[in-house]
Structure 1
C-alpha cells in the first residue's frame, strides 16, 4: 500500500483515539481534528513507536470556517486526503422529546449532522482529485432502531445512516466508498471512572451489549481500518453494527 493520508475527527479520545492508534500501526499519515488541545501531545507521543505520522489540528466542528481551515491544513501539509473517519459527536441524556430544548436540538444537529455533511463535502472534493477515497461515518444502533427517550439522538443518527447511503451512490463509480459504523456500548474514558464510582451503572451498561461486556475502542477501529483498505472496495453504502448483536434482536 502506498502511503495513505487519513483524517479522524474527535481523534483525541475514545473510539477516535483508538482508531488513530490502529491507523498509525498500519503506517498511515493521520490528521486529527479535535478541540481537546491538552490531550494532543500525549496521543501523538503514543503513536511515535509506530510507523505512521500523526499530526493534530484544532478544529471546532460547529464552525464551518474552522472546518475549511482544517482541510486547507491537510492540503498544505500532505497535498491529498485518501481516507476519513467522521467520528466526533456526543449525545444528550435520555428524556421525552417534549422536554428537549431548542439549544439541545441545535447542538445535536450541529455536531451529529451538519458537521458530518460539511466535512464530507471537503473530503469528497479532495478524494475526487486522487481518484481514491474511503469515508466511514459514525452512526449508532440508534441510527437503525430507536428507543424511549432517545428521539432527538436517534433522529440525528438516522440522518447519518441516510446520508451515508445516498452519498455512497453518488460516488460509486469514482473509486470512493462511503460506509458507517454503528458501535455498541464501548468502554471509553468517559465510562471507565464509573467502574469505581458507580459500579451498578457500569455493570448495567456492560450488560447492554448481548455479550454482557463492553466493547473496546479497537473493536471499532479495526473495522474502520479494514474499510479504508483497497480490499474493501465492494463494500459501499452499508451500516455495519459492531455491537456483539445489539440490533440483531432481543434476548429472552
Structure 2
C-alpha cells in the first residue's frame, strides 16, 4: 500500500519540489496551499509521476483550515504517514521596529501558528495509526540572527523548539520529527525578496561560502531522505542545508 504525505505550501518552491521527489518514490501526495491554481498545478505534475494526489485549499493561520486539510487527506487516503510542514512567508524585509503590528501578526500566524496547528492535527492521526514522520521547515534564520527578518527569525526559532519538544515527547510512540534549516534558496518567496531588495540580496550571496543560493531540488532530496524511512534514527534535530552559511 502506498504511503501518504501531506505537504503545506505545496503549490511552489520547496513544497512542490518535495512533492515531486516523494511522488517519484511512489508516495501519494496531499497538496496544501492558499493558491488553487498553484496547488492544482502541483497535483497535475505529481499525478504525471504515476501516483495519486489531491489539493486542499487552506490558510494555515486558521486552525479550522488546518483541521480541514488533515480531515480531507484522511478521507481521501485513509491515513497520513509523512508531513512536510512547510508553508511560510518572509515578511516585510525591514528592521524590526519598522514592522507594523499587522505584519508581525501575519508572519506569526502563518509561519508559527500554522506550523503548530499542523503538528497538532497531523500528530493526532499519526498516533492513532502507529507513528509517522514529520519534517518542519525552519531556516538559517531559525539558527542564527539575521538582519531585516526579525519576526520571521522568531517564528523559525519557534519551529526548532516544537521540533525538539515533539521528539522528546513522542519518539517512543513511533513519531520521527526533524527540522530543516535551508539557506537562501531559489523559491518564489526569495525571487520576490531579491527583486525588492537587490542590494541586500547581493550581500546575502556574498556571505555564503559556496557563493550561490540553493535549489529547491536540493532541499527536496533532504526532505525525502528524512521522511521516507531512510533516516529512522535521526530524530529531533535541525539539519542545515545552506552552502556552509551557518558553519562560519
Task: Give yes or no for contact 2:9–2:32 (8 Å, CA) kept in 1.
Answer: yes
1:18 corresponds in structure 2 to 17
Go from structure 1 to structure 2 and tell me whether the alpha carbon gap of 1:185 and 1:231 turns closer, same or farther (over 3 Å shift): same
Go from structure 1 to structure 2 and tell me whether the alpha carbon gap of 1:195 and 1:181 turns closer, same or farther (over 3 Å shift): closer
Tell me how far apart the structure 1 counterparts of residues 62 and 229 of structure 2 sit (CA, whole Å).
32
Of residues 105-114 and 41-50 in structure 1, the stretch that sits farther from structure 2 once superposed is: 41-50
Of residues 240-249 and 94-103 in structure 1, the stretch that sits farther from structure 2 once superposed is: 94-103
Task: Give yes or no for contact 1:175–1:233 (8 Å, CA) kept in 2.
Answer: no
Tell me how far apart the structure 2 counterparts of residues 88 and 192 of structure 1 sit (CA, whole Å).
16
Tell me how far apart the structure 2 counterparts of residues 83 and 15 of structure 1 sit (CA, whole Å).
15
Tell me how far apart the structure 2 counterparts of residues 197 and 138 of structure 1 sit (CA, whole Å).
23
Task: Give yes or no for contact 2:73–2:80 (8 Å, CA) kept in 1.
Answer: yes
1:33 corresponds in structure 2 to 32
**TM-score under structure 2 normalisation?**
0.92
Tell me how far apart the structure 1 counterparts of residues 193 and 123 of structure 2 sit (CA, whole Å).
39
Deviations 1:184-206 (A, max 9, x none): 11112345589999987765554
Q: Which runs of 5+ in 2 are unaligned?
A: none
Deviations 1:83-116 (A, max 9, x none): 0001000112333322222111211111111111
Deviations 1:136-176 (A, max 9, x none): 00001111110233322211111111111011111010111
Of residues 235-244 and 32-41 in structure 1, the stretch that sits farther from structure 2 once superposed is: 32-41
Tell me how far apart the structure 1 counterparts of residues 193 and 138 of structure 2 sit (CA, whole Å).
24
Q: Which runs of 5+ in 1 are unaligned?
A: none
Map 1:155-166 onto structure 2 (within 5 A): 155-166=154-165
Secondary structure of the 1:145 match is: coil
Tell me how far apart the structure 1 counterparts of residues 172 and 82 of structure 2 sit (CA, whole Å).
17
**TM-score under structure 1 normalisation?**
0.91
